[in-house]
């Protein structure tokens, strides 16, 4: 059985507390988000970390990153500092290394993500545009058509959520969710997952239907149900793995 930290700062069980702590967590990370020259390299590095371009034991050194991306060391230093603030990397003897996460870390991130993404879905139901609906509908159909390609299906699933965040018209929520999900994917990338594309397709259809109706309550409930299921599946996987290792 998994043991969770008892303090609220480490374990959010209340939606209001979850939002409060994640706001505190990312207050410094996003205070300079409007500086355009910092965003591209930071975003590229984060995407490459999530995609597994760097191994878990790689050292992320300024000179190496600068050469790899064809930039000077100054923007690299700034980008690495932001990734550290987001909790994706930690300082090492040489440069930085990718941060490892425990099963408890993954579950905690899910708790906060559920609170924030519910807020995003409720906002999206009211503020989404026809363009958002069209893109979400297309992504949903493409995901169904990609039944024989698990990697493509997962990528389309991720993009569906990103467009949902964008439809909320709330830049702060989008930034927080992007950072949380990046951390989740890095921590969770070694976990073996079962094929849940059928359930995901049905859950995305419910979210999409709620957005069509501009029903904020239904959209929020649908997102919570979707993410709560995936969280429970992660928990079940962690428990099975721990039992197998005993």
Which pLDDT value is given to residue 191?
60
In a domain, 125, yes or no: yes
94 by DSSP, 3-state: which?
A: coil
Residues 6 or more apart in contact with residue 145 via CB below 8 angstroms: none
In this structure, is residue 89 part of a structural domain?
A: yes
**CA 125-179-43 angle, 5° bins:** 105
Please identify, among 98, 115, 136, the residue that sits at the C-terminal boundary of a domain: 98
Extract the tokens encoding 55.
Answer: 């191994």
Q: What is the pLDDT of residue 241?
A: 67
Question: Within the chain, which residues score under 70 in pLDDT?
Answer: 1-40, 189-194, 241-246
At residue 226, the pLDDT reads 97
pLDDT at 245: 55
pLDDT score recorded for residue 53: 85
78-96 confidence digits (pLDDT tens): 999 988 888 888 888 888 9
Say if residue 128 is in the same domain as residue 238.
Answer: yes
On whether both 94 and 109 belong to a single domain, the answer is no
Q: Return the pLDDT at 157.
A: 92
The domain of 35 spans 27-98
Q: Domain with 42 in it: what CATH number? A: 1.10.10.10
For residue 246, the model assigns a pLDDT of: 56
Boundary residue ending a domain (49, 65, 98)? 98
Q: Helix H segments across the chain?
A: 15-26, 39-51, 62-69, 73-85, 103-127, 130-145, 150-167, 171-188, 197-213, 216-245
Q: Domains in the chain: how many in total?
A: 2
210 and 127 share one domain: yes
pLDDT of residue 189: 65
Question: Please, is 176 exposed, middle or buried when counting C-beta atoms within 10 Å of its C-beta (0-12, 13-18, 19+)?
Answer: buried
CATH of the domain at 198: 1.20.120.530
DSSP summary character for residue 101 = -
């Amino acid at each position: 059985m998994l043991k969770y930290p008892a303090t609220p700062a480490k374990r959010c069980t209340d939606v209001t507390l979850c939002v409060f702590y994640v706001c505190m967590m990312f207050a410094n990370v996003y205070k300079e988000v409007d500086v355009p020259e910092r965003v591209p390299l930071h975003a590229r590095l984060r995407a490459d970390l999530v995609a597994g371009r760097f191994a878990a034991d790689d050292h992320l050194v300024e000179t190496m990153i600068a050469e790899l991306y064809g930039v000077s060391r100054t923007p690299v230093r700034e980008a690495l500092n932001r990734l550290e603030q987001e909790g994706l990397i930690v300082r090492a003897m040489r440069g930085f290394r990718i941060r490892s996460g425990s099963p408890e870390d993954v579950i905690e991130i899910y708790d906060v993500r559920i609170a924030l993404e519910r807020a995003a879905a409720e906002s999206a139901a009211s503020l989404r545009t026809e363009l958002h609906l069209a893109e979400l509908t297309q992504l949903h159909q493409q995901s169904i058509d990609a039944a024989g390609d698990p990697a493509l299906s997962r990528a389309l699933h991720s993009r569906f959520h990103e467009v949902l965040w964008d439809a909320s018209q709330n830049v702060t929520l989008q930034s927080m969710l992007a950072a949380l999900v990046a951390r989740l994917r890095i921590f969770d990338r070694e976990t073996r997952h079962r094929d849940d594309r059928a359930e995901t397709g049905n859950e995305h259809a419910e979210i999409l239907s709620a957005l069509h109706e501009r029903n904020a309550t239904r959209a929020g409930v649908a997102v919570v149900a979707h993410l709560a299921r995936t969280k429970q599946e992660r928990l079940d996987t962690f428990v099975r793995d721990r039992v197998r290792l005993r």
